[in-house]
Amino acid sequence: MMHNYFTITAGRTGSAWLASFLSQNLNISEVHEFLGINDFGNKMPDIRTMRNFNNFGNNEFVQDFWKRKFGYIPNELYSETNHTLCKCGLVENIILNKRENYTTLIILKRDMTDQCVSYLERNDFGNITLAWQWYLHPSYLKKIINPKPFMQFGNLGQPLWYCYEMAARQEYYSQKFSDKVKMIEVSLEEIVTNIGAKKLHLDLDFSGECKIPTKKNQNKANRNTQLIAYVKDIVEKKIKIDMPDIVKKAIKNGFTF
């Protein structure tokens, strides 16, 4: 049986846990991210690929990467939860290469406050090359959410904008392509529980017993409670975005990657 499983997610959202869940329940090798020296540009998007897609869209350079990438994927059950893929043309090139009939996309979400605090605690936006390789940068030409209002929050601005931009992209791909390729929307907080994992197992049409991995990347000790409260207050009280409406209007106005 040939079937591919990928994610539309932001990173720091549970993609490592999901990689284990998929591999254990499909009985296949676990693939989270390819980090070998020669993987970049072939199995893993490099900075040039990321910047091309987010500035110029799905151009020839990006499409050439995906031809190489898909060429490495075996004609059998395969899952990869690498969060960079959806930020450089994953969905567009699944359609372009006629792979939609044997692909499932998992839209993986996480609590916005926890997600943003995770970036801040790791200083994930401390250098522009980190944003180029792993996340997104506000200077990109192709973006749905205006970053300017977020910059009033200082060092919090860029990672917070990224959270909302990725939420917008999840909504964008759902609205534009869910009628072409199977998509399942889940939250990290739900799927790591017994009930949530079993529901995901059922939604994915997996057979047999549901195998639930232990949680990964847990580090709740010494959490900055003041930072968490500060970000939570902003998310809940100061940012009001009707994501479905914004995305619907963007698509109607011709926005595309």
The CATH number of the domain where 224 resides is what?
A: 3.40.50
pLDDT band at 1 (very low <50, low <70, confident <90, very high): confident
Q: Which two tokens stand for residue 173?
A: 């791909």
Decide: 66 and 73 in contact? Cβ < 8 Å.
no
* Helices (H), ranges, 58-156: 60-71, 90-96, 112-122, 128-134
188 part of a folded domain: yes
CA atoms within 13 A on the CB side of 240: 2
Q: Report how far residue 112's alpha carbon sits from residue 99's, in angstroms, rounded to the nearest whole number.
A: 31
Can you tell me whether residue 107 is helix, strand or coil? Answer: strand
Residues 180, 184, 186: CA angle, nearest 5 degrees? 155
Within a domain: 239: yes
pLDDT tier at 215 (50, 70, 90 boundaries)?
confident
Q: Is the dihedral of CA 128, 132, 138, 141 positive or negative?
A: positive
- Whether residue 257 lies inside any domain: the answer is no
Both structure tokens of 23: 């591999």
Q: What is the pLDDT of residue 39?
A: 97
Distance in Å from the first CA to the final CA of the chain: 32
96 inside domain: yes
Give a yes or no: residue 120 inside a domain: yes
Q: Are 239 and 153 in contact (CB under 8 A)?
A: no
pTM above 0.85, yes or no: yes
Compute φ and ψ for 80, nearest 5 degrees.
-150, 125
Between the CA of residue 153 and those of 147, 157, 228, what are the distances in Å? 11, 5, 14
* Other beta carbons within 10 Å of 106: 24
- Residue whose token pair is 């090359």: 129
pLDDT given for residue 216 in this prediction: 73
Distances (CA, A) of 117 to 52, 111, 128, 148: 28, 10, 18, 20
What pLDDT is attached to residue 223?
78
Residue ranges making up the domain that contains 98? 3-252
**Contact assessment for residue 79 and residue 29, using Cβ atoms and an 8 Å cutoff:** no
The residue behind tokens 């290469």 is 97
Residues 26-30 have a mean pLDDT of 96
**What is the pLDDT confidence band of residue 221, given thresholds at 50, 70 and 90?**
low
Quote the tokens at residue 233: 């207050």
- Model confidence at 181: pLDDT above 90: yes
Number of structural domains found in the chain: 1
Does the pLDDT at position 9 exceed 70? yes
The stretch 143-155 carries a mean pLDDT of 97
DSSP 142: S
pLDDT digits over 87-128, tens only? Answer: 999 999 999 999 999 999 999 999 999 999 999 999 999 999
Strand partners, 105: 6, 183
Name residue 195's amino acid: I
Percent of the chain past pLDDT 90, that is, above it, reads 95
